[in-house]
Structure 1
Amino acid sequence: MDIEAALERFHSLKLTDIMPRLESMPVVTADADLLSVLKVLRTRHHVWVVKDRDSMELVGFIRYIDVIDVLLPPGAHKFKLGITSKTMKSMLGGAARAEDIAERHALTIEENATVLEALVKMRKYRTQVLAVVEGKKLVGEVSLRILIDELLRLLRVGGAQWKP
């Protein structure tokens, strides 16, 4: 298998075939306390926030970098035009649960999408991770790291050699 054929096969893979198991993903419920969220973010770059474990309805996500807003005092978020919504994401500003600090506009992709569709969306929105959904239900995730791992696995299995 040459590189061109390997990439063509890679691009056509369905996300459902390469997603990690849901149990291994960083997920908290909307009512999880902030300390639980911080514990997950010690070792992960993001955490998905779902309504509850039964419905798995995606509420949003919290990125590692967002912890800065959680830890800052409310006054650190003030600007000349008033107080920003980030003030409300501060622990001292009243945030107590995962849903209080979650970004509500998570980038999603349908579970039957291909790797190529995921890559195009990642590039368009300049993100490294997408929530894989079935309707509003979180069923998986796809990240640039997962895609790189899958390509390397495919190249090893197929015996393709990169020849610049």
Structure 2
Amino acid sequence: MEIDTALARYHHLQIKEIMPTKEDMPIVCINDSVSDVLNLLRTRHHVWVIDTKNDNNLEGIIRYLDVIDFLLPPSKHKIYMGSSTSILKSIIGGANTVKEILQPNPLTINQNNTVLEVLTKMEQYKVQIIGVVDDDNKLVGEISLKILIRQFMDLCLGPKGC
């Protein structure tokens, strides 16, 4: 298969066709403890936050680097006029639950969108992972640059290759 043919085919794949199952995702509920997040972040680079396991409403994300705010003492946080949120996210500042340390409004894309649309969004926002939601805006998966690379390589390494 020629590279331009492979790319065209690849770009038209729907996200839901290539994303891993939700069971493989790092997910916590909004009222879980911060220690639950830290346990997941030992081996993952992010954790998705939902309201409850039954509803799957996406509330936020906690990335590996976000934990720095949690671990720093309040005296080390940079404070600017009108903001003390990073201090409140520290362990010494009293953060105990996921709700207190999450980054709200994570970037999402609908599962029916194409690979080309997710790549465009990743490039626009300079991110490597995006939450995948259904038509009711419920978290159903995630798509990362790593997954996209793997999918393209699988397509190219098929019977005819690229």
TM-score interval w.r.t. the shorter chain? over 0.9
Map of 1:123 onto structure 2: 123
Deviations 1:74-121 (A, max 9, x none): 221143636531111111111111111110020000110000000000
Q: What is the percent sequence identity of the aligned residues?
A: 45
TM-score (norm 2): 0.95
Map of 2:60 onto structure 1: 60
Mark the runs of 5 or more structure 2 residues left unpaired by the alignment.
none
Q: Answer yes or no: is 1:47 the counterpart of 2:44.
A: no
Moved more, 79-88 or 109-118: 79-88
Measure, in 2, the Cα distance between the counterparts of 1:41 and 1:126: 21
Measure, in 1, the Cα distance between the counterparts of 2:68 and 2:80: 21
The answer to whether the 8 Å contact 1:77/1:83 transfers is no
Measure, in 2, the Cα distance between the counterparts of 1:136 and 1:69: 29
Q: Answer yes or no: is 1:105 the counterpart of 2:136.
A: no
Shift of 1:159: 2.5
Q: Say which SS state the counterpart of residue 48 (structure 2) adopts.
A: strand
Measure, in 2, the Cα distance between the counterparts of 1:83 and 1:59: 21
Measure, in 1, the Cα distance between the counterparts of 2:75 and 2:105: 25
Correspondence list, 1:1-164, <5 A: 1-79=1-79, 81=81, 83-134=83-134, 135-161=136-162
Mark the runs of 5 or more structure 1 residues left unpaired by the alignment.
none
Measure, in 1, the Cα distance between the counterparts of 2:86 and 2:80: 14
Measure, in 1, the Cα distance between the counterparts of 2:47 and 2:80: 32
TM-score (norm 1): 0.94
Displaced runs of 4 or more, over 6 A: none
Moved more, 88-97 or 146-155: 88-97
User: Cα RMSD over matched residues?
Assistant: 1.2
Alignment size in residue pairs: 161
